[in-house]
Every structure is written in C-alpha cells, then in structure tokens.
C-alpha cells in the first residue's frame, strides 16, 4: 500500500470510495444526498478548485491510499477559519475491508505532517454524534468542542501519539 497525493483525476474513484465506505460503515446514518454520486463528485470538484467549504483557506491536500492500483482510502484536509482552528479534516474514509489495519492511522500521520509543514498547530474534524467511528479520533486524544466537532489544540502532541 502506498500513500500518494490525490488530484482531480481521482475524483470518480474517491467519490466511489466515499459512498461505498459510508454504506459499509454506518448505513443507518446515511441519507440519500450523502450517497448521490453526481452530488458528491461535484463537491470534490469544488473542493479541489478551492471553492468549498466556505470556511476554508486555499491551502489543501488530499492523501489517497493505493493498493494494487486501486484507491482504498483517502483523507482530505485544508487550512480553515472555522472555530479559530488552523486546519480541518474535510473527509476521511477507508473501505470497510481495509479498516482496522492501520491505514487510517497512516493517513492521519500524513495529514498531521502536512499541518506541521504548513506551520499551523490546531486541527478540527466534524463527525455525526451517532457515528461509532468517533472512537478513532478519541483514541488519538481528540477532545469534543461540541457534539459535532472534535479538536486537537496541538498537532505536535497528536503526532507523538500516532503510528
């Protein structure tokens, strides 16, 4: 498995990973708009173009994990103005059959290294309160800002905790 930087050429495959992982991981939380391919692919076009989300600053990157020429997970992150935080994980999905094998930890490490390279310190991520995968973020010492947002005040401390 290799971690690479994703580009607009990956939008279709990333969108498929996002939708499949949602359906596999928390089908009970998925609404129709969350898994509409055209809607989600368009969202990625605007994200790569720096047009969404409105709270974002221009700096952004998406890391993809490739196994046998197939994308099996990704993490998208951007600098942000949200909550006076520095960076925000926009989207983070690994296909179910590849979960709990350390892939997410490696993606998080790439994201944290990117924030440090950008000389910023704090990080946030939005997550549905009922999403059981919040356990991943809590394992790495994320703290709740409110029921929808988990934050880290210092990515250097987070870096010391991850694989």
Ligand X SMILES: CC(C)(COP(=O)(O)OP(=O)(O)OC[C@H]1O[C@@H](n2cnc3c(N)ncnc32)[C@H](O)[C@@H]1OP(=O)(O)O)[C@@H](O)C(=O)NCCC(=O)NCCS
- The site for ligand X (CB under 6 A) is made up of 21, 25, 92-94, 99-105, 127, 131-133, 135-136, 139
Q: Is the Cβ of residue 78 or residue 99 nearer to ligand X in the bound state?
A: 99
> Shortest distance, CB of residue 128 to ligand X, whole angstroms?
8
H/E element, 18: helix 11-25
> Shortest distance, CB of residue 44 to ligand X, whole angstroms?
15
H/E element, 29: none
> Shortest distance, CB of residue 93 to ligand X, whole angstroms?
4
**Residue 92 near residue 149 (C-beta atoms within 8 A):** no
Q: Is the Cβ of residue 27 or residue 119 nearer to ligand X in the bound state?
A: 27
Q: Is the Cβ of residue 119 or residue 141 nearer to ligand X in the bound state?
A: 141
Q: How many CB atoms neighbour CB 95 within 10 A?
A: 19
**Residue 86 near residue 111 (C-beta atoms within 8 A):** no
Q: Is the Cβ of residue 104 or residue 142 nearer to ligand X in the bound state?
A: 104
> Shortest distance, CB of residue 32 to ligand X, whole angstroms?
18
Q: Is the Cβ of residue 79 or residue 162 nearer to ligand X in the bound state?
A: 162
H/E element, 53: none
> Shortest distance, CB of residue 23 to ligand X, whole angstroms?
10
8-state DSSP, 26? -
Number of residue whose CB is nearest ligand X: 104
Give the separation between CA 138 and CA 142, rounded to whole angstroms.
Answer: 5
8-state DSSP, 112? H
Helix, strand, or coil (residue 84): helix
Closest by CA position to 88, among listed 147, 135, 155: 155
């Amino acid at each position: 498995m290799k971690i690479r930087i994703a580009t607009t050429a990956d939008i279709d495959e990333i969108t498929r990973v996002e939708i499949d992982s949602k359906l596999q991981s928390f089908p009970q939380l998925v609404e129709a708009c969350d898994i509409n391919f055209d809607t989600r692919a368009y969202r990625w076009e605007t994200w790569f173009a720096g047009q969404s989300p409105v709270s974002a600053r221009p700096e952004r990157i998406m890391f993809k994990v490739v196994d046998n020429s197939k994308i099996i997970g990704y993490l998208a992150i951007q600098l942000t103005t949200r909550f006076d935080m520095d960076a925000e994980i926009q989207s983070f999905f690994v296909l179910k059959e590849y979960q709990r094998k350390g892939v997410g930890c490696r993606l998080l490490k790439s994201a944290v290294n990117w924030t440090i390279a950008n000389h910023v310190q704090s990080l946030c991520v939005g997550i549905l309160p009922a999403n059981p995968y919040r356990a991943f973020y809590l394992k790495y010492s994320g703290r709740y800002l409110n029921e929808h947002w988990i934050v880290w005040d210092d990515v250097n401390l987070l870096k010391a905790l991850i694989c």
